[in-house]
Structure 1
Amino acid sequence: MYCIKYPPITFSSKKLVMLLGCLLGCHQLMAQSTVPLTDLSAFQEPSSNWKLAAGAKADLDKDEVLTTKDGTGILVNLPGKNGAKDLYTKATYGDMDLELDYMMAKGSNSGIYLQGRYEIQLLDSWGKVNPQSGDNGGIYERWDDSKPDGQQGYDGHAPRQNASRAPGLWQHMRISFQAPRFDAQGKKISNAKVIYVWLNGVLIQDNAELAGPTRGAMDSKETTAGPLRIQGDHGAVAFRNISITSFDKAPPVLSNLKYAVYKGAAIAINDTKAKAVAEGNSTILSSNVGTLTNDFALHYTGTIKVTEAGLYTFKLSVPGGNGSLRIGGIDAIASANNRGEGKIQLQPGNLAFDLIYSKTIVWAKPALGLTVSGPGIREYLLTDANVSNNDPVDPILINATSNTILRSFSDLPGGIRVTHGVNVGSAEQVHYTYDLDKGMIVQIWRGGFLDATPMWHDRGDGSSRVAGSVQYLGKPVPGIEKLANAQASWAADTAGTGYRPKGYVLNANDQPTFRYIIYGSMVNDASTVIDGGHGIHREITLQNPADGLFAHLATGSNIEDAGNGLYIVDDKSYYIKIEDAAGAKPILRDAGGKQELIIPIKGKLTYSIIF
């Protein structure tokens, strides 16, 4: 592969660059701070409804019930009947990213007000199919009291889909916010913007512009900064792992850019005999200079002005070739093959900027891309935004408007590929993947059904992707196993069990019952959606069951027995509810550094996965 060769340099070990192999566009948080929840010192005069706890638990059946365990680490709002107030941070923020976990009580209502003025709604919206702006993850409406009833609300932003979890489960939210902009005279020149909201792994808000404060704002005056405010007068809610990244520093600026385009072989920068086929000055980094589309080397030089000392991350995209980046004579990215990333410690000043893009693969589209992020500086694009290295491909989405079945490969965490997966979708927007090799459900999710683009676009690879908020159920293992005793280890596969899949049959509603033989017993495994879209109900029946058979119900970092057949799995990620086990008692045991929930099975077992 052709490249441009620099003359050798030397520098101290303190200036070595750490290179990372992440894709361009992965978000790297800078200057992130965690809100300490060892006390309430980060907040302004907290009222008595706010407290700290070491644990929190909601009741699935009772409204507004949230019980706590003494200690610290979790922020809890218990509004009660009188005197509940909102909670404000002492610090104020402009552009910011916020990341946190939260837990809703059944029927509860809360909200996060960015700058105290723009509300991201928190609500028990569990199971709702068509969420509105007032549902969980929605951007609440603005309000005009002068309008007739039913018309006062406007400019709300509903979440793209409902990714909400059940009461009592931890939910994870990431918010990226851009404050409004003002000119020197204080006139607003740009609206506030919610760049994104991710809820439980799903993008639910994307570049939502906010023309003004939402209903219930602390005031109607927009400013460059304001406190984070959490609603406290509506319902019981708990928070943990609150981290804030503030972006309030001036970004690096490029100037004095010059480019030279060379055709052909590797070129040394200090080679005075090298002849450029195109050269000139530029106001922006772009690959749209010259006329060559392949077998070229593009060299940019210039100055980058740095105003903040600290560690900076550069991400370089050089499709169809390789590239490199130097700042102040030091490698920021020594070598990028299509993509590359590097970190470099920079001091304030005007530093030499040197970038190379050498393209050698004919079918790739030339498209130079470079981003930078740093201390208090949100990642942004330094190159021409009009140049894209992607040929847009419309996603091939499959919506389950009725009970739907699709075979595909499914990829799970840890590099696990389920090669005999059956994806089962429902109009209630609760779906699951069944592994025909193991006789078990390996993942459940709510929201969108499947993205079949990896399978059906171009040649494809046979796999589909979950299009909603997924809950993985651990490493696939046989759903039923024969154990010598209740503490015997669970096998990783079905070798030696006589396992034979027998496909599935559909009922009148097109819902499958999976059938297989294991240890000489015929197993019928039927799953249906719980009323209200609250999870999956499973009914497993065995014909002529062998002795010593157990069913595998759950694996997690921890499993908590909540009583009456209810178990909370994997740091409150989902519930298992045992309904009918023909008198058998579940066994909660340690296994390989985790916990397992298993149960003896003879003729029939019914239980639910609630999430």
Structure 2
Amino acid sequence: MNFKYFHHHFRSERIILLLTLVLFVQTSFGQQQEFDFNDLSSFKNPGDSWRTAGNVFTDLDESNELKVVRGTGILVNDPDRNNGQDLYTEDEYGNIDLELDYLMAKGSNSGIYFQGQYELQLKDSWGVNAITSGENGGVYQRWDDQKPEGEKGYQGYSPRQNVSKAPGLWQHLEVSFKAPKFNAQGEKIENAKFIYVKLNGVTIHEDLELLGPTRGSSVAGEKPVGPIRIQGDHGAVAFRNMKITRFEKPRPELTNLNYKIYKGRYDKEPDYENLPPEAEGKSAMLTSDLNTGADQFLVRYTGELNVPQAGEYTFDLETPGGTGLIRVNEKELLSFRSGGGKTTINLPAGELPFEVIYSKFQDWVDPGLGLKISGEGLREYLISDQSGDFDKPVDPILVEAEDSKVLRSFMNIPGGEESQGKLLTHAVSVGHPLQLHYTYDLNSGTLAQIWRGKFLDATPMWYSRGNGTSVPLGSVLPLGDLGISVGKLSSKEQKWAADTTGRNYRALGYKLDQKDIPSFHYSIYGADIKDELKVINEGQGIQRKISVDTPVNNLHVRLANADKIEKLSDELFLIGDKEYYIRLDDTGREKPVVRSSDKGQELLIPLNSNITYTLLY
């Protein structure tokens, strides 16, 4: 493996000099530690394979090779060149949320060990279909040399789906980790847990209990705290935007909880002194499951809230079919409000008077009482039971792509000119068994988005009355404000058309081949266009061929519109913030042009016969 340094010119406004390696930011949930990678001072004795960089690229044709631009802001590992060693944080952690971006070289392998014990695998798994615990996002196996061959590895967990991107593209990881818990004698009483792991916006693990350390653990025996350890002896990898949020504050607990039940409808709080309860007693926790035998009632809980540590706390009360109220330390946090609500207050330490009221007056709604508490250094938790079906979940209507699938629906495309995105009313989504899919907009002849992973959730479209939309189930790449794919430019300075208005655009539908793969047809500027898309290279990309039967002067294809487009070679371009590649396969000897656009830059090429290119993602 080789690292190559080269000079690269940056826009001056994009260079931000930071003076410290680690920033601490107070949030409403915990103390957030930000690693800006100006140097390596927050790590213990970093080996020579680790360095900082200003930018980094990979070569899709070379294994374990990264090209590095000198600078800061990115952490890079080069194990083959400098005897790779694992990297340990100076700090040790218990309950945390970890968030970062990482970038793999081709064929590379790394991992993140939580508390130095539990490995989440990082690997180039681009286009891999048979995913295991050893692939990207997997929880690595535990290991026992005493077991028979073939059984030594056990309790490894594969990701739910493979949403891994191509080498050289930034991938986003979010992990919520719960540390193991020990009693006063040092005995483990609760296992560690991944509350969730999200890769590129998709949940790949959830509520996953870790019964013990994974193979390669560097610490003897589980402990309440430990460092973050990044594997450094396997392959070339880069990191940026690393954030750790600690959750170390002890939970407030309810004690001496009593309840009283009053039957009837209460739109406001009654005078309890002159109203005898129908029932009363003690309770171990807040619940609406008190067998009241009535559709309309009010339940009043009183007790003490034991707050071990002073600070700011947020209370989130849910009271379906009615209203609710919270008082803590004789202060009213929520007045009678339909459905409950959320409020924040500073509380002193100690045993504080506590009161919750739930008034249910809608006959047709099932009773339910939910109360969650969170705060600075305190991960949100449920202090009530889970009685009540707040969200009324339904069985999802999922569309799988065992073979080619075509589904017409409305589709919400993220981003766009407005932050809320854009609703396509004539969307055609095409699924492929290699788990790379796309949405095509018949209204503009535009490739709107691609995604990797599972195909579609059609529940919003088909459940009950429905709203006509379907939702991608994988990691979605919106393709920006493309406007139209084929346009006409009478000069180099002419702006690209934002839509089909005045372009004589007419959608002609699509045709299916023998494998049910569609080709799209439309006319624009008097030219007849055929647009063909197919998944190639074991699901590594989507190849697109745009053909014109009746050429018109000055026709162009807009291949990309992004804040930044970097030319890596005559045929390969890196789009946006290392979001995807465009590879030119057959241009008919036409030359691509990168020019400025309202969004930043756009990639154009003349269209005289046909253009073939591939989106690698």
Q: CA deviation at 1:323?
A: 3.0
Matches of 1:464 and 1:309 in 2, distance apart?
46
Matches of 2:338 and 2:494 in 1, distance apart?
49
1:319 equivalent to 2:320? Answer: yes
How many residues end up aligned between the 2 structures? 585
The correspondence of residues 81-480 of structure 1 with structure 2, limited to 5 A, is 81-262=81-262, 263-268=264-269, 272-274=273-275, 276-289=277-290, 291=292, 294-333=295-334, 337-338=338-339, 340-413=341-414, 414-475=420-481, 477-480=483-486
Contact 2:429/2:439, CA 8 A, preserved across alignment = yes
Q: CA deviation at 1:485?
A: 2.4
Matches of 1:112 and 1:355 in 2, distance apart?
43
Matches of 1:337 and 1:577 in 2, distance apart?
55
Tell me: CA distance 1:226–1:298, structure 2 relative to 1, closer, same or farther (3 Å).
same
Contact 2:370/2:387, CA 8 A, preserved across alignment = no
Amino acid of the residue matched to residue 307 of structure 1? Answer: P
Amino acid of the residue matched to residue 144 of structure 1? Answer: D
Tell me: CA distance 1:331–1:544, structure 2 relative to 1, closer, same or farther (3 Å).
farther
Contact 1:487/1:589, CA 8 A, preserved across alignment = no
Q: CA deviation at 1:246?
A: 1.7
Contact 2:96/2:176, CA 8 A, preserved across alignment = yes
Matches of 2:491 and 2:609 in 1, distance apart?
19
Contact 2:369/2:387, CA 8 A, preserved across alignment = no
1:364-411 Cα shifts (integer Å, max 9, x gaps): 221111111112211110111344324342211111011111111111
Contact 1:293/1:366, CA 8 A, preserved across alignment = no
Matches of 1:242 and 1:335 in 2, distance apart?
42
Classify the secondary structure of the residue corresponding to 1:113. Answer: strand
Contact 2:261/2:292, CA 8 A, preserved across alignment = no
Tell me: CA distance 1:483–1:118, structure 2 relative to 1, closer, same or farther (3 Å).
same
Matches of 1:293 and 1:99 in 2, distance apart?
47
Classify the secondary structure of the residue corresponding to 2:461. Answer: helix
Q: CA deviation at 1:270?
A: 5.1
Classify the secondary structure of the residue corresponding to 2:460. Answer: helix
Matches of 2:225 and 2:370 in 1, distance apart?
31
Q: Which shifted more, 473-482 or 293-302?
A: 293-302
Contact 1:122/1:135, CA 8 A, preserved across alignment = yes
1:31 equivalent to 2:31? Answer: yes
Structure 2, unpaired ranges of 5+? 1-26, 415-419
Matches of 1:311 and 1:408 in 2, distance apart?
46
Superposition RMSD in Å: 2.1
Q: CA deviation at 1:196?
A: 1.4
1:333-367 Cα shifts (integer Å, max 9, x gaps): 45754363333333323333333333343332211
Matches of 2:212 and 2:282 in 1, distance apart?
42
The correspondence of residues 459-538 of structure 1 with structure 2, limited to 5 A, is 459-475=465-481, 477-538=483-544
Matches of 2:593 and 2:295 in 1, distance apart?
64
Matches of 2:279 and 2:578 in 1, distance apart?
61
Matches of 1:138 and 1:286 in 2, distance apart?
38
Q: CA deviation at 1:195?
A: 1.7
Contact 1:79/1:235, CA 8 A, preserved across alignment = yes
Amino acid of the residue matched to residue 379 of structure 2? Answer: R
Contact 1:98/1:244, CA 8 A, preserved across alignment = yes
Q: CA deviation at 1:504?
A: 0.6
Q: Which shifted more, 331-340 or 211-220?
A: 331-340
Matches of 1:555 and 1:28 in 2, distance apart?
37
Q: CA deviation at 1:509?
A: 1.8
Q: Which shifted more, 130-139 or 366-375?
A: 366-375
Classify the secondary structure of the residue corresponding to 1:80. Answer: coil
Amino acid of the residue matched to residue 366 of structure 2? Answer: K
Q: CA deviation at 1:47?
A: 0.6
Matches of 2:294 and 2:545 in 1, distance apart?
60
Q: CA deviation at 1:255?
A: 2.2
Q: CA deviation at 1:524?
A: 0.4
Q: Which shifted more, 488-497 or 110-119?
A: 488-497
Classify the secondary structure of the residue corresponding to 1:563. Answer: coil
Contact 2:116/2:226, CA 8 A, preserved across alignment = yes
Amino acid of the residue matched to residue 300 of structure 1? Answer: Y
Contact 1:36/1:42, CA 8 A, preserved across alignment = no
1:179-208 Cα shifts (integer Å, max 9, x gaps): 222222222222222221110011111222
1:408-461 Cα shifts (integer Å, max 9, x gaps): 111122242111111100111100011111111111011101111111222221
Tell me: CA distance 1:515–1:117, structure 2 relative to 1, closer, same or farther (3 Å).
same
Matches of 1:354 and 1:412 in 2, distance apart?
45
Amino acid of the residue matched to residue 245 of structure 1? Answer: T
Which residue number corresponds to residue 10 of structure 1? none
Amino acid of the residue matched to residue 130 of structure 1? Answer: A
Amino acid of the residue matched to residue 78 of structure 1? Answer: D
Matches of 1:592 and 1:339 in 2, distance apart?
44
Contact 1:75/1:238, CA 8 A, preserved across alignment = yes
Q: Which shifted more, 546-555 or 220-229?
A: 546-555
Contact 1:444/1:471, CA 8 A, preserved across alignment = yes
Classify the secondary structure of the residue corresponding to 2:454. Answer: strand
Amino acid of the residue matched to residue 371 of structure 2? Answer: L
Tell me: CA distance 1:542–1:244, structure 2 relative to 1, closer, same or farther (3 Å).
same
Which residue number corresponds to residue 5 of structure 1? none
Which residue number corresponds to residue 23 of structure 1? none
Aligned-residue identity in percent: 48
Matches of 2:69 and 2:31 in 1, distance apart?
32
Q: CA deviation at 1:329?
A: 4.2
Amino acid of the residue matched to residue 608 of structure 1? Answer: T
Match of 1:604 among 586, 607, 610: 610
Amino acid of the residue matched to residue 136 of structure 2? Answer: N
Matches of 2:497 and 2:300 in 1, distance apart?
58
Which residue number corresponds to residue 11 of structure 1? none
Which residue number corresponds to residue 14 of structure 1? none
Structure 1, unpaired ranges of 5+? 1-26
Q: Which shifted more, 286-295 or 98-107?
A: 286-295
Give me the TM-score of the superposition, normalised by structure 1: 0.91
Amino acid of the residue matched to residue 79 of structure 1? Answer: P
Matches of 1:289 and 1:107 in 2, distance apart?
58
Contact 1:259/1:301, CA 8 A, preserved across alignment = yes
Matches of 2:342 and 2:233 in 1, distance apart?
46
Amino acid of the residue matched to residue 243 of structure 2? Answer: S
Which residue number corresponds to residue 59 of structure 1? 59
Tell me: CA distance 1:158–1:240, structure 2 relative to 1, closer, same or farther (3 Å).
same
Q: CA deviation at 1:162?
A: 0.3
Q: CA deviation at 1:322?
A: 3.3
Classify the secondary structure of the residue corresponding to 1:448. Answer: coil
Q: Which shifted more, 501-510 or 596-605?
A: 596-605
Contact 2:49/2:82, CA 8 A, preserved across alignment = no
Amino acid of the residue matched to residue 305 of structure 2? Answer: I
Classify the secondary structure of the residue corresponding to 1:268. Answer: coil
Q: CA deviation at 1:568?
A: 1.2
* Structure 1 segments of 4+ aligned residues over 6 angstroms from their partners: none
Matches of 1:275 and 1:498 in 2, distance apart?
77
Contact 2:133/2:141, CA 8 A, preserved across alignment = yes
Contact 1:367/1:387, CA 8 A, preserved across alignment = yes
Q: Which shifted more, 455-464 or 231-240?
A: 455-464
Matches of 1:593 and 1:518 in 2, distance apart?
24
Match of 1:565 among 551, 567, 571: 571
Q: CA deviation at 1:553?
A: 1.5
Tell me: CA distance 1:339–1:409, structure 2 relative to 1, closer, same or farther (3 Å).
farther
